[in-house]
Structure 1
Amino acid sequence: MDNNTLLPAAFINKMSGIFPEKLSFQDFLDACQRPLRPAIRVNTLKISIADFKCLAAEHQWELTPIPWCTEGFWIKTSTQITPLGNSFEHLAGLCYLQEASSMLPVSALFHFFKSNEQSVLLDLSAAPGSKTTQIAAKMNNQGLLIANDFSASRVKILHANMQRCGIKNVALTHFNGNVFGAWLPNSFDAILLDAPCSCEGTIRKDKNAMKNWNQNAIENIALTQKELIKSAFYALKEQGVLIYSTCTLSHEENQEVCHFLKEHFTDSVEFLNLASLFPGASKSCTEDGFLHVWPHIYDSEGFFVAALRKIGPTTPPEVKKRLGKFPFIRPTRQKEAELYAYFEQKFGIANISGMLYQRDQDFWLFPDPIKALIPKIRFSRLGIKIAEEFGKGRRSGFKSTHEFLTLFGAHATKNVLSLNAQQAQAFYQGRDIRDLNHKFETGEVLLSYRNIIIGFGKVLNNRIKNNLPRELIRDSNLFDK
């Protein structure tokens, strides 16, 4: 119990005025004073749920299923000393630390939408990446997911999470979300708009979340949200699905934003009912079929989720845009063959899927559906970088990248070194690995811990030089097994 949680009187008065009669307001106030239950989501791109449960049992983690997300679990770690964020399972991308309510929007999206290899989706406000990685896993790394965020620094965090989770079908953009409707109208099969909001629902995670709460700020945020949802609707294909969500409670940022869209586009908007999303969803379902989750209903954060379908055409505003020259080219067939021969000869990795592109000495894999969008928008990062070429003539060669080898390394049959716990810790701390009892040829070697490829290094005499990207390094209090 944390009785120091700040709940301004004006906030309490407002919530009491919109609170459902069928629920207890005192239960809501009591829940706001309780700490939030930690939760994780299994990343099925890297491990099955069954195999993850085996790892959890070794740690004596108690997993309780989250009813709206098959891959989600509340987790109890009474004997845990190492923070979950520094566990091997998290560092290797086998799971993502994600609040339970935060898993709702993506579950709602795939309740109404079935993706395939040509699906094109948009996550309009993506960073830090919890829902983006959840979408990519639901897409099974197929099709194309555009992940956008307005903050450049947050895009860097977003990319680091894409690397850690082994995602290859994502293109990152860095724009104000309200440009997509005019720039890419009628382009996306499905869109998630997890809108910036006043965060009233995060009280249990941050006891000072309400410190600067005021009604004027909420009304200003709602104006931004209305512009974003209108832009998202223009960008959505006809018959496409739009999920609008926030981690806040006020109607101005939730129901009223959805009704604004309905009023603006009249017969083109259909509200989809979420009452059957999971057993117990009716407890938080509104008359319109939205989910308005109060913190005490499911012992979670407060959240709002609405599902909408575009059932009629829209005419977006005209806009002029200037795009720079696309800096990538398709490599020659000879160069492509040389690169793929290197992967097969060095690691035994073959059958690499994706479109190969080249920029200077770097080689990239792009998702196939990206071709139609390349002339229409500028990307901060597109696909995954898989290798660099160095030298010339007989001294030329290729160097692999961390994200390629952690993504395709499970198929490797050569040059794989199994690490012990101490060596794996050293790797995640960015240190070179020493005291080896294995003999490898000079050059790159894949590094494995507990049968999971965690990266690669370069063999130099009796040590392996660490090639872990700087943004993935953790320097203290790491796992011990």
Structure 2
Amino acid sequence: MSSSSRLFLPDAFLEQMRELLPDGADFDRFIAISQQPLRRSIRVNTLKISVPDFLNLVAPYQWELTPIPWCDEGFWISRADADNLPLGSTAEHLAGLYYIQEASSMLPVAALFSASPAPERVMDMAAAPGSKTTQIAARMQNRGAILANEYSASRVKVLHANLSRCGVSNTALSHFDGRVFGPALPETFDAILLDAPCSGEGVIRKDPDALRNWSAESTDAIAATQRELIDSAFHALRPGGTLIYSTCTLNLRENQQVIAWLVDRYAGAVVIEPLNTLFTGAERVVTQEGFLHVFPQIFDSEGFFVACLRKRQSVPPLPRPTYKVGQLPFSPVRTKERQTIIAAAEKVGLKWDEATHSLWQRDKEIWLFPLALEPLLGKIRFSRIGLKLAETFAKGYRWQHEAIIAFADPQAANAFELTSAEAEEWYRGRDIYPERELPADEIIVTCQRQSLGIAKKVGSRIKNSYPRELVRDGKLFSS
């Protein structure tokens, strides 16, 4: 049945919600808010820009930005220009200065860093499309390492694109069922985020048909998978480490009861860290156990559930996997070659921290791996580790776009600042014909003092090297 002509709410779901919200007025508020459009929200990417500098930069837009209480970098956004330009087509979004992210989904990472302020090695167990992985990377300032896993092969490409746009360099990607990590990588991570696949009861404001296939039986089946995933995550967590379990659903079976199952299974090893002081207002959504159970009417957001657990001690290991990882097709770059690569990179305005990243090579490719992930090499097969720095060829190095976004100095001697109109041409994949002198034969192309890519000077024009798969058409930021 439906409470409106647009929103599909099954009768059994409504009965469940009446039990969860026994106060009739509160239930009515839930139904009313569920029929309202979801507020847009963004998170400033502090790998690229500080929050004050971002607010100054976007001031001419006259956006109405309301701070999100649980995320210092997060804002609800109201725009007078909303009909004219999608949020994903602004200059600032294309340059990775902000991520379009629902406010409630910023909660799990806030909880993770509240309980584990400086983790060295983190796993995001269900990472695509990348909102939480990029949020974790920003909190880590690209130090340490993140294993970003995604079960869906089609979503790994989207995950990588978002990491690249945001300048994330401390991540390895994997494509596995999350149940493999407990057996394959026992006691490996300081912190794990399991944003578990769920029935999606909290996202009906964004997707009115989210509950078309909903049933009590389907949520029971999903909860069984969630128990297996949280069991795997708990084994992959080192003693003393932090596990964040979150969902965008509302029922007890997929939330409180999954945690209760884990606590019962490993009695004495699981400690619940209460989240009642995570932010001002948390007391409005905290449960008796100390979890956050966010109903959409409380903060005018999506529905969400977050639990924070600490592993007090080791638990009996799971059977080790029998598969073979295969030989790693990379080898460390030798010292002499490393110095040559570093010098050539610095010449074009590229620099990275050798205390956090190391150079590896595969055939003619040069890669930068996060040092904190090197102990995992040979234990699991990665889809991608770190980022591709360059390809070698007869005349030197062909620097890669993702390395420029992550490591180029936008104030280097060879940086060239584009006008807004020129930057739009860049994103459309067209060559640029500036009527002013170019600083070098190989140029770091910038706009708003942010690196957009690297290009060759050919005569008086800039030859566009923006990756073909990223080229945009349609309305862009200066249209």
- SS class of match (2:135): helix
- SS class of match (1:237): strand
* Paired positions, count: 474
Residue 440 of structure 1 contacts residue 459 of structure 1 at CA under 8 Å; is this kept in 2?
no
The alpha-carbon distance between structure 1 residues 363 and 348, as it changes in their structure 2 partners (threshold 3 A), is closer
Q: Which amino acid aligns with 2:401?
A: H
Work out which of the residue numbers 450, 453, 456 in structure 2 matches 1:455: 453
**Deviations 1:281-327 (Å, cap 9, x if unpaired)?**
11111111111110000000001101111112112222223111011
- SS class of match (1:317): coil
Task: Look up the match of 2:43.
Answer: 41
Q: Which amino acid aligns with 1:139?
A: M
**Deviations 1:396-421 (Å, cap 9, x if unpaired)?**
31111111112222265222111111
Residue 350 of structure 2 contacts residue 404 of structure 2 at CA under 8 Å; is this kept in 1?
no
Deviation, 1:332, is: 2.2
- SS class of match (2:238): strand
Task: Look up the match of 2:425.
Answer: 426
Task: Look up the match of 1:128.
Answer: 129
Please say which of residues 335-344 and 195-204 is displaced more in the overlay.
Answer: 335-344
The alpha-carbon distance between structure 1 residues 279 and 22, as it changes in their structure 2 partners (threshold 3 A), is farther
Q: Any unmatched runs of 5+ in structure 2?
A: none
Task: Look up the match of 1:108.
Answer: 111
The 5-angstrom pairing of residues 111-260 of structure 1 reads 111-115=114-118, 119-260=120-261
Deviation, 1:339, is: 1.3
Deviation, 1:20, is: 5.2
The alpha-carbon distance between structure 1 residues 365 and 112, as it changes in their structure 2 partners (threshold 3 A), is same
Task: Look up the match of 1:378.
Answer: 381
- Rounded to whole Å, the distance in 1 between the matches of 2:105 and 2:469 is 24
Residue 349 of structure 1 contacts residue 413 of structure 1 at CA under 8 Å; is this kept in 2?
no
Deviation, 1:344, is: 2.2
- Rounded to whole Å, the distance in 2 between the matches of 1:328 and 1:168 is 18
Task: Look up the match of 1:98.
Answer: 101
Is 1:74 matched up with 2:79?
no
The alpha-carbon distance between structure 1 residues 35 and 364, as it changes in their structure 2 partners (threshold 3 A), is same
**Deviations 1:187-238 (Å, cap 9, x if unpaired)?**
0100000000111100111111122222221111111111000000000010
Residue 410 of structure 2 contacts residue 449 of structure 2 at CA under 8 Å; is this kept in 1?
no
The alpha-carbon distance between structure 1 residues 192 and 417, as it changes in their structure 2 partners (threshold 3 A), is same
Please say which of residues 315-324 and 342-351 is displaced more in the overlay.
Answer: 342-351
Q: Which amino acid aligns with 1:448?
A: T
Residue 47 of structure 2 contacts residue 138 of structure 2 at CA under 8 Å; is this kept in 1?
yes
- Rounded to whole Å, the distance in 2 between the matches of 1:359 and 1:99 is 39
Deviation, 1:124, is: 0.3
- SS class of match (1:156): helix
Deviation, 1:84, is: 0.4
Q: Any unmatched runs of 5+ in structure 1?
A: none
Ranges of 4+ aligned residues in structure 1 off by more than 4 Å: 20-23, 348-353
Normalized against structure 1, the TM-score is what? Answer: 0.95
Is 1:298 matched up with 2:296?
no
- Rounded to whole Å, the distance in 2 between the matches of 1:56 and 1:23 is 40
- SS class of match (2:173): strand
**Deviations 1:67-108 (Å, cap 9, x if unpaired)?**
000110001111242100111111111000000000000001
Is 1:85 matched up with 2:88?
yes
- Rounded to whole Å, the distance in 2 between the matches of 1:420 and 1:49 is 23
Deviation, 1:463, is: 2.5
Residue 350 of structure 2 contacts residue 407 of structure 2 at CA under 8 Å; is this kept in 1?
no
The alpha-carbon distance between structure 1 residues 123 and 345, as it changes in their structure 2 partners (threshold 3 A), is same
Q: Which amino acid aligns with 1:211?
A: R
Q: Which amino acid aligns with 1:221?
A: I
- Rounded to whole Å, the distance in 2 between the matches of 1:79 and 1:2 is 29
- Rounded to whole Å, the distance in 1 between the matches of 2:216 and 2:191 is 32
Residue 455 of structure 2 contacts residue 462 of structure 2 at CA under 8 Å; is this kept in 1?
yes
Normalized against structure 2, the TM-score is what? Answer: 0.95
Deviation, 1:441, is: 4.6
- Rounded to whole Å, the distance in 1 between the matches of 2:237 and 2:32 is 40
Please say which of residues 451-460 and 47-56 is displaced more in the overlay.
Answer: 451-460
Please say which of residues 466-475 and 145-154 is displaced more in the overlay.
Answer: 466-475
- Rounded to whole Å, the distance in 2 between the matches of 1:23 and 1:304 is 22
Q: Which amino acid aligns with 2:378?
A: P
- Rounded to whole Å, the distance in 1 between the matches of 2:4 and 2:91 is 31
- SS class of match (1:253): coil
Residue 155 of structure 1 contacts residue 174 of structure 1 at CA under 8 Å; is this kept in 2?
yes
- Rounded to whole Å, the distance in 2 between the matches of 1:231 and 1:149 is 15
Work out which of the residue numbers 14, 17, 26 in structure 1 matches 2:16: 14
Deviation, 1:469, is: 2.4
- Rounded to whole Å, the distance in 2 between the matches of 1:120 and 1:23 is 45
- SS class of match (2:431): coil
Q: Which amino acid aligns with 1:45?
A: L
- Rounded to whole Å, the distance in 2 between the matches of 1:4 and 1:158 is 31
